[in-house]
């Protein structure tokens, strides 16, 4: 057996960009398979949709700011994608959240205005869309807040969070809620499962209510339910009689896991396949086209052939792009040419850790259609695109949604995809 499975499109990468591309390809009628080495960035990111937070000063209106932003950065992914694509993909995302597996759960906000939400250390961070469970953390409307921590969650420090919110001018104090410690290194997910239980959270709310003062909002680490967060959050608000909001935690990120599940279900409902543990280890080419990729499966490789590939394997942080000890930078997955690599003599890194590190802009070289240079049937999406410093710009999800959507659109509109497959 040659051991080959055939699809209309194969997506490499199971993070936000890859899952969006896969879901939208499947919704468009393509036979699609998403190959993921492991579970991706979703479980680590806060679960907010950040479109543009800093340019480099804090951005108030992300969609309106995009024009000037890309004019100054013609190599940025947003310059290829355009504001309309960002808005359209955000709209698609919100509708999939609402028709998704988490009853009643919504993302709120809009791309016209960033709102500022507290991080785990009490800094205020701009986001365009956030889960409804975070919405009442909007820093502009927060007056008095009580940050609630627990000894059962070691990685969240309510005193630190409250002190920094105080420095931002918000009257903040903190309390510790009593949650039974059943495991020393409990994380937010373990507690989120308990918040899914109505009886458990009713008891929690009853104990917490005794520690609260009038007129203060409640900030809790993001752990208000994993299967049914809408019920958990709204139930707490009702029981405590005041606004309650989630604050993103250290990994694992419960809101990020919800986001992954929403995209996974969108992919599966539309008939798309998802293969986990599928690290792409080699590719076959015919001239300037990739004809198939092989993943490392048990015993023998599995081979996936398609007329189109979406490359959404991520950048340095996922390990798709590497910089080795000889200062050679490469795409480890398909060996595609890169763009943005500092030339000889140019600085690769700057001394200040959080500066605009030149190396951060490296990505797979693409044309205006997001097609990889030298590989006509490979479309690139997400953190693999060159030109962005998404962690600094606060642009990661905007780029992932818009480029994942654009990649799907390009493949679907390329007439003859099926014919070539046959």
Partner 1 sequence: MTNGILEDLLLRGSIDHCVKCTICETQCPVSNVTPLFGGPKYTGPQAERYRVADEPSVESSVDYCSGCGICSMVCPQGVKIAEVNAQARDKLKRQKGIPLRDRIITRPTWLGRAGTPTARIANFTLASGPLRVLAEKTLGVHRDAAVPAFAGRRFSRWAHGRTSPQTGRKILYFHGCGTEYYEPWEGEKVVQILEHNGFEVIVPKQDCCGLPLQSSGLFDDARKVVLRRGRDFAPYLRDDPNMLVVGNATSCTLMLKREAREILSLEDDPDLKLLSERTYDICELLLELHDRGELKTDFRPVNEHIFYHAPCQQQGHWIGKPALELFALIPGLEVTEGNARCCGIAGTYGLKAEKYDIAMAVGADLFGQVEASGAGEVACDSETCRWQITHATGQKSVHPIDYLHRAYGL
Interacting residues toward partner 1 by CB under 8 A: 1-6, 33, 37-40, 43-44, 182-185, 187, 189-190, 193, 251-252, 257, 261, 268, 271, 273-279, 295-300, 302, 318-319
Kindly tell me which of 136 and 273 has the beta carbon lying closer to partner 1.
Answer: 273
Least distance (Å) from partner 1 to the CB of residue 249?
Answer: 10
H, E, C per residue of the chain: CCCEEECCEEEECCCHHHHHHHHHHHHCCCCEEEEECCCCHHHCCCCCECCCCECCCECCCHHHHHHHHHHHCCCCHHHHHHHHHHHHHHHHHHHHHHCCCCCCCCEEEECCECEEEECCCCCEEEECEEEHHHHHHCCCCCCEEEEEEECCCCCCCHHHHHHHHHHCCCEEEEEEECCCCCCCCCCHHHHHHHHCCHHHHHHHHHHHHCCCCCCCEEEEECCCCCCCHHHHHHHHHHHHCCCEEEECCCCCCHHHHHHHHHHHHHHHHCCCEEEECCCEEEEEEECCEEEEEEECCCCCCEEEECCEEEECCCCCCCCCEEECCCCCEEECCCCCCEECCCCCCCCCCCCCCCCCCHHHHCEECECCCCEECCCCCEEECHHHCCCCCHHHHCCHHHHHHHHHHHHHHHHHHCCCHHHHHC
Least distance (Å) from partner 1 to the CB of residue 217?
Answer: 28
Kindly tell me which of 112 and 284 has the beta carbon lying closer to partner 1.
Answer: 284
Least distance (Å) from partner 1 to the CB of residue 96?
Answer: 16
CB 34 within 8 A of CB 274: yes
- Taking the C-alpha atoms of residue 422 and residue 417, their distance in angstroms, rounded to an integer, is 9
- Taking the C-alpha atoms of residue 251 and residue 265, their distance in angstroms, rounded to an integer, is 22
Residue with tokens 């507690």: 191
Least distance (Å) from partner 1 to the CB of residue 295?
Answer: 7
Kindly tell me which of 238 and 300 has the beta carbon lying closer to partner 1.
Answer: 300
Kindly tell me which of 89 and 318 has the beta carbon lying closer to partner 1.
Answer: 318
Least distance (Å) from partner 1 to the CB of residue 299?
Answer: 3
Kindly tell me which of 277 and 347 has the beta carbon lying closer to partner 1.
Answer: 277
Least distance (Å) from partner 1 to the CB of residue 379?
Answer: 22
Tallying the residues shown for the chain, one arrives at 422
Least distance (Å) from partner 1 to the CB of residue 189?
Answer: 5
Kindly tell me which of 35 and 87 has the beta carbon lying closer to partner 1.
Answer: 35
Kindly tell me which of 4 and 141 has the beta carbon lying closer to partner 1.
Answer: 4
Kindly tell me which of 214 and 298 has the beta carbon lying closer to partner 1.
Answer: 298
Kindly tell me which of 43 and 76 has the beta carbon lying closer to partner 1.
Answer: 43
Kindly tell me which of 4 and 288 has the beta carbon lying closer to partner 1.
Answer: 4
Other C-beta atoms lying within 10 Å of the C-beta of residue 339: 16
Reading the block at residue 81, the tokens are: 């994608």
Least distance (Å) from partner 1 to the CB of residue 35?
Answer: 9
Backbone angles phi, psi at 209, to 5 degrees: -55, -35
Least distance (Å) from partner 1 to the CB of residue 381?
Answer: 17
Least distance (Å) from partner 1 to the CB of residue 44?
Answer: 6
- Taking the C-alpha atoms of residue 36 and residue 52, their distance in angstroms, rounded to an integer, is 27
Least distance (Å) from partner 1 to the CB of residue 263?
Answer: 13
Kindly tell me which of 108 and 265 has the beta carbon lying closer to partner 1.
Answer: 265
The alpha carbon dihedral of 189, 184, 208, 140 has a sign of negative
């Amino acid at each position: 057996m040659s051991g080959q499975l055939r699809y209309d499109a194969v997506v490499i990468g199971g993070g936000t960009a890859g899952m969006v591309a896969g879901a939208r390809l499947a919704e468009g009628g393509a036979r699609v398979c998403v190959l993921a080495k492991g579970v991706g960035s979703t479980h680590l990111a806060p679960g907010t949709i950040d479109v543009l937070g800093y340019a480099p000063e804090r951005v108030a209106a992300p969609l309106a700011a995009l024009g000037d932003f890309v004019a100054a950065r013609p190599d940025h992914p947003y310059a290829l994608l355009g504001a309309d694509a960002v808005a359209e993909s955000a709209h698609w995302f919100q509708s999939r959240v609402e028709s998704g597996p988490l009853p009643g759960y919504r993302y709120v906000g809009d791309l016209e205005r960033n709102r500022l939400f507290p991080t785990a250390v009490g800094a205020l961070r701009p986001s365009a869309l956030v889960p409804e469970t975070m919405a009442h953390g909007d820093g502009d409307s927060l007056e008095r807040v009580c940050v609630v921590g627990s000894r059962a969650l070691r990685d969240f420090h309510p005193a630190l969070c409250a002190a920094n919110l105080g420095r931002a001018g918000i009257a903040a104090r903190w309390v510790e809620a009593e949650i039974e410690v059943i495991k020393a290194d409990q994380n937010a997910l373990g507690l989120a499962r308990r918040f899914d239980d109505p009886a458990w959270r009713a008891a929690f709310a009853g104990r917490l209510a005794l520690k609260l003062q009038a007129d203060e909002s409640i900030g809790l680490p993001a752990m208000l339910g994993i299967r049914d967060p809408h019920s958990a959050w709204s139930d707490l608000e009702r029981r405590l009689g005041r606004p309650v909001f989630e604050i993103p935690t250290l990994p694992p990120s419960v809101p990020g896991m919800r986001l992954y599940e929403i995209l996974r279900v969108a992919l599966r409902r539309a008939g798309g396949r998802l293969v986990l543990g599928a690290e792409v280890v080699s590719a076959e080419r015919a001239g300037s086209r990739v004809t198939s990729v092989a993943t490392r499966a048990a015993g023998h490789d599995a081979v996936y052939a398609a007329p189109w590939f979406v490359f959404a394997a991520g950048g340095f942080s996922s390990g798709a792009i590497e910089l080795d000890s000889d200062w050679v930078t490469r795409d480890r997955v398909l060996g595609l040419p890169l763009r943005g690599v500092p030339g000889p003599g140019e600085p690769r890194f700057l001394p200040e850790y959080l500066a605009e590190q030149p190396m951060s802009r490296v990505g797979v070289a693409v044309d205006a259609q997001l097609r990889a240079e030298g590989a006509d049937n490979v479309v690139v999406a997400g953190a693999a695109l060159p030109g962005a410093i998404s962690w600094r710009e606060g642009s990661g999800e905007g780029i992932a949604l818009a480029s994942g959507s654009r990649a799907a659109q390009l493949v679907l509109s390329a007439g003859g995809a099926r014919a070539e497959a046959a």
